[in-house]
Chain A
């Protein structure tokens, strides 16, 4: 397939078009994904999540700069960004503004940025985010940063998608609100208090450390005792604190490798995708075999209490899918 070759050879237009195809799940893009899949699995996937306005996009920009201009003798890493923003539930449209903060990355051929709308998908990511990441991975990007929608329930999906999860907080957003977000702290591999130039940093930092301690106590120190989530301060406008953040990301990557968790996470990710796809496929097949009339009739019978819900399922599903 020419498209696949082009993507593997670093053709950026081909890559961009493939990502569009994946979003609409076109035949050709799905086939290309099949062929590219064996080449993926090498990139370090970093999820950046947190409430809207905490500075995620600005921080992502600084992170990319740091990966592109490493100090010492390190080699610059080819870096991709997928920035997810919500679609309007009413119009289906979306305003994708994360690039505004990534202007310093322009003109670097080792960087690729893609904005993506959720298109009704819950959980802070788009349906096509996972496959887009696979394609970018296959295309040779060594670091892939995924910025999620900063809404409440983003936790689970990004936790599955990324190797390292950076949760971004900022002072002055109201600690009471954050108290309800214990879930997001639990998925954090690294906690960042951004906008360190703003008043109230110490307070936010203290508060987050307290929350972390509490949740690790509740967890009985069982889960990840070899990894202690660091709490770091950054200023995403000046880049202050970035060296420490980069260092923490590399340290986490080492930790994942040494503990074998890289493999476990990658496997869990694949398992998740597999199960999701199976469910979807079965549902599709069932829908193809079941008419709206069948469904309405079962509903009638149910309303008249002639059959029970379990029996309805027996008739509608068990007898159909064999």
Chain B
């Protein structure tokens, strides 16, 4: 058995065309030793969930600047759950008003990052979130 790498999907749902932030995070996570799948702009929640499934990621990072986070993030989480990926750690980055944060956390988002969050912090928290999970995912294959 070799090392099991943390696989992260960085996705940009919604219609806004700025992916600088998403790319910065993607590169930072790569530099933290993770395998980062970047899917580009204007992804629908369905596209994101499908990519998360095919790539069997441990983490989905959503970069949302359009203001539609209250719709988009819960939709992605529900799709992940319905396809058996309830343990995937979902984080949201972008411009999120303070009062919306508890709503997102309630919907199943693990962490919300505002602009300027140091990327090492994101990497660290992703590691914490997945260490509990990664063993279990391989165990999924074990018995049966």
Interface residues on B, range: 35 or more
- A91-B30, A103-B40, A117-B35 known; A13-B2 Cβ under 8 A: no
Docked CA distance A97–B39 (Å): 6
Docked CA distance A14–B91 (Å): 24
Interface residues on A, range: 35 or more
| Chain B residues, Cβ within 8 Å of A16 | 53-56
- A12-B54, A13-B53, A20-B7 known; A107-B46 Cβ under 8 A: yes
Least CB separation from A32: chain B residue: B141
Per-residue interface assignment for chain B, residues 1 to 30, with 1 indicating a CB less than 8 Å from any chain A CB and 0 otherwise: 111110100000000000000000011011
Q: How far is the CB of B131 from chain A (nearest CB, A)?
A: 15
Partner of B4, one of A19, A24, A113, A117: A24
Docked CA distance A117–B55 (Å): 12
Query: Does A28 contact B39, Cβ atoms closer than 8 Å?
Result: no
Query: Does A23 contact B5, Cβ atoms closer than 8 Å?
Result: yes
Query: Does A29 contact B47, Cβ atoms closer than 8 Å?
Result: no
A-B contacts, CB under 8 A, total:
115
Per-residue interface assignment for chain A, residues 37 to 55, with 1 indicating a CB less than 8 Å from any chain B CB and 0 otherwise: 0000000000000000000
Least CB separation from A6: chain B residue: B144
Query: Does A99 contact B40, Cβ atoms closer than 8 Å?
Result: yes
Partner of A94, one of B36, B140, B144: B36
- A92-B33, A93-B36, A114-B55 known; A26-B50 Cβ under 8 A: no
Query: Does B1 contact A25, Cβ atoms closer than 8 Å?
Result: yes
The 7 A-B pairs of least Cβ separation, nearest first, read A2-B144, A28-B141, A100-B40, A93-B30, A16-B56, A24-B4, A106-B47
